Amino acid sequence: MEALQPRRSGANAALRAAAPAWILLSAAPGLRAEMEEIDGTEKEAEESHRQDSVSLLTFILLLTLTILTIWLFKHRRVRFLHETGLAMIYGLLVGVILRYGIPATSYHNKTPPSCSLKEGPASTLLLNVSGKFFEYTLKGEINSREIHNVEQNDMLRKVTFDPELFFNILLPPIIFHAGYSLKKRNFFRNLGSIITYAFLGTAISCFVIGNMMYGVVTLMKAVGQLTDKFYYTDCLFFGAIISATDPVTVLAIFNDLHADGDLYALLFGESVMNDAVAIVLSSSIVAYQPSSANTHIFDAAAFFKSVGVFLGIFSGSFVMGATTGVVTALVTKFTKLHCFPLLETALFFLMSWSTFLLAEACGFTGVVAVLFCGITQAHYTYNNLSAESTKRTKQLFEVLHFLAENFIFSYMGLTLFTFQNHIFSPIFIIGAFVAIFIGRALNIYPLSFFLNLGRRVKIRGNFQHMMMFAGLRGAMAFALAIRDTATYARQMMFTTTLLIVFFTVWVFGGGTTPMLSWLHIRVGVDPDQDLQPSADSFQVLQGVSSQGDGQSKTKQESAWLFRFWYNFDHNYLKPILTHSGPPLTSTLPGYCGPLASCLTTPQAYENHDELRDPDSDLIHSDADLTFMFGDTSITANGASGRADAAGELGWSANGKRSGSTSEEALERELDSREQELLSRGTRLVFPVEYHI
């Protein structure tokens, strides 16, 4: 026994030593499964990262190809297709390749589990699997016919971006650039007409299209072509988003050919303002909630509430955008950031972009806020920037605008094949085309008639036809449509909007140059030296020719509001917010001397005699308005005389400007443009004479 005891003890020791190995062997299957799960997760993450890189590379290559083709078109002087149309074509080609050329890859071979819910699915799903909790996010409803395609083609899901990407990343630089690069002279002298077209015209277009589409939907229901719910409010929502015009193609051609400044201002101003109106109008329609059980019938209280929401959102967004611009102006004025142009440019960029996000976070509309922020920055902050920062900010937002806009149009072409829930309804699509045509006509022609009753310079018929023709749909309509595609109605609206954008950009955009010639709209006008009399200018000239000084006085009285704003801005706002304008010590009352001294910088005294306020072109006084007709000059105060020198500023009898070498160079450039387009059968109409 005593001899066996150590042996037994040795055996126990051996067993104890072997125990860890036995435990490891017994646990090996579980560890192996866990390691395989980790490896599988890492492989999926690596594959997902690779596909993300491929999808981004795809869009970068699309933009690169678009830029190279644009250069080729500009080199060959081709204008029948704009860069946005090119981007859409390239997007379509890549979409076809991704949809039909890439082999399917699937990690899911089982049938999806089924369950019944009394209520709609939540945005987040928590799943308990063997004691482990997993979180899933709702992406949206999938068409039952496309369930296997959705599971199989991962690349299609990768190139489908979150709609918020368009609103928070791509739209802000596009809208800000529109406000920051605004040509204020032509814009403000046509401001009344622009506001009328943008606000009243967009509302008319929205309700005309909405009611006509409700008739189309009723017809579809009667013939059995409507498979799900489509309410009247959905039709109005479609009317709001499709009323957002984006004549980027037309405006680019206008800019290249230097088309008539007032027509350019009317189209540009309407497109910029009505984008803001359309997005606020669509938000107001979504907020329409009648008190009755049926939420899709007309309710007067809910209607006026929606009108209040519209006014509140628009005014709040306007105030927020202008306030951000004012704050940026004050920061750049009272700091020495101009000594560090890089920091100055970075602050300007961040303050401008944050305006959009701040408005959205506060429940307002970022598009309106960033638009008026851009206008405010251009009017005030721009004067405080260093020479290097002024160039940097202009170029920075110009590049961002170009890339973002072409990215959106490329994505439009891609989406036609990669979006999984398209609903193509021929009746709805044809009805939409007819509705937007009629809505545009009832917007432009009646409003132009009423505006002409109060304008001395009428919006001529050829201008009205061009505005009717230039009602293209683009980035804003697409972004509003793709923001919500959860329901049957929204999916049909998105598909139709996509087709409308394609058609208008390719057909109407490509026909802009021939239309300019056919409508006899003058081109070759230098936008910075365009001396064509504006509405106010013709009021003065007609007053001189008919009633002399008395009618000129009437003109001054009709422009009192703009004169009041100009004087207030020039004497108080600009000196407070910028280094330009007269010093506050000379404009404020004497008892405000200490405050004026604090708000006036030394640069204001230095710049007072050197800088001329560019906005003075907006207000014409009696002495500074002079035009040449033949060899007789007519001034605003009724005086006339002979032109004493060939270099005097004015228009000669043959319609050409006389003077400096730069003007002769401009004439040579315009002659070359004329020969170029005449060789292609395009007719140019130059300003030969003005008829009073």
Structure tokens at 113: 């589990």
Task: Report the alpha-carbon distance of residue 494 to residue 492 in Å, rounded.
Answer: 5
Chain center to CA of 160: 21
Cβ of 154: how many Cβ atoms within 10 Å?
A: 16
Give the whole-angstrom CA distance, residue 35 versus residue 22: 20
Looking at residue 569, the DSSP 8-state letter turns out to be I
Q: What pLDDT sits at residue 135?
A: 77
Among the listed residues 387, 385, 323, 393, the one whose alpha carbon sits nearest the alpha carbon of residue 358: 323
In the chain, the N- to C-terminal Cα span, in Å, equals: 135
Residue with tokens 């987040």: 124
pTM score = 0.74
Helix axes 387-418, 4-75, angle to 10 degrees: 110
- For residue 395, the one-letter residue type is Q
What would the two tokens of residue 328 be? Answer: 């940026």
Count Cα neighbours of 452 within 13 Å in the Cβ-side half-sphere.
Answer: 12
Residues in the chain: 692
Rounded CA-CA distance 647/593 in Å is: 46
Maximum alpha-carbon separation in the chain: 143
In angstroms, rounded to a whole number, what is the distance separating the alpha carbons of residues 661 and 199? Answer: 44
Q: Given this model, what pLDDT does residue 32 score?
A: 59
Following DSSP, what letter does each residue of 175-225 receive, concatenated?
Answer: HHHHHHT--HHHHHHTHHHHHIIIIIIHHHHHHHHHHHHHHHHHHHHHTT-
Strand partners, 634: 627, 640
Q: Which residues pair with 245 in a beta bridge?
A: 473
| Residue type present at position 181 | S
User: Which positions ≥6 away from 192 have C-beta within 8 Å?
Assistant: 451
Contact 233, 296 (CB under 8 A): yes
Residue type for position 55: S
Rounded CA-CA distance 481/495 in Å is 9
- CA triplet 433, 481, 295: central angle to 5 degrees? 95
Identify the CA nearest to 491 among candidates 252, 243, 238.
238
Q: Which helix (H) or strand (E) holds 423?
A: none
The confidence score (pLDDT) of residue 643 equals 37
Helices 488-503, 475-482: axis angle to 10 degrees equals 160
- Joined tokens for residue 448: 């132009």
Bridge partners (DSSP) listed for residue 629: 632
Give the angle 149-152-158 at the CA atoms, nearest 5°: 95
To which residue do tokens 């251009």 refer? 378
| Rounded distance between C-alpha atoms, residue 116 and residue 471, angstroms | 47
- Specify whether the CB–CB gap between 500 and 239 falls below 8 A: no
Backbone angles phi, psi at 339, to 5 degrees: -75, -15
* Mean pLDDT of each 10-residue bin along the chain, 692 residues long: 43 46 47 61 77 82 89 79 83 85 57 65 73 73 58 62 81 90 80 90 94 94 88 91 84 78 86 87 79 58 80 92 94 90 94 93 90 92 92 93 90 87 92 95 94 86 91 86 87 94 88 86 68 42 41 46 78 85 78 78 64 47 34 37 37 39 44 50 41 35
The separation between CA 511 and the C-alpha centre of its own chain, rounded to angstroms, equals 22
Residue 678's CB is within 10 A of a number of other CB atoms, namely: 12
Query: 63, 169, 57: which is closest to 403 by C-alpha?
Result: 63
Q: Which residues of 167-205 are buried (b: 16+ CB within 10 A; e: fewer)?
A: beebbbbbbbbbbbebebbbbbbbbebbebbbbebbbbb
Pairing label, strands 132-137, 124-129? antiparallel
Rounded (to 5) percent helix, strand, coil in the chain: 70, 5, 25
Task: Name the residue among 34, 29, 35, 45 with its Cα closest to residue 107.
Answer: 45
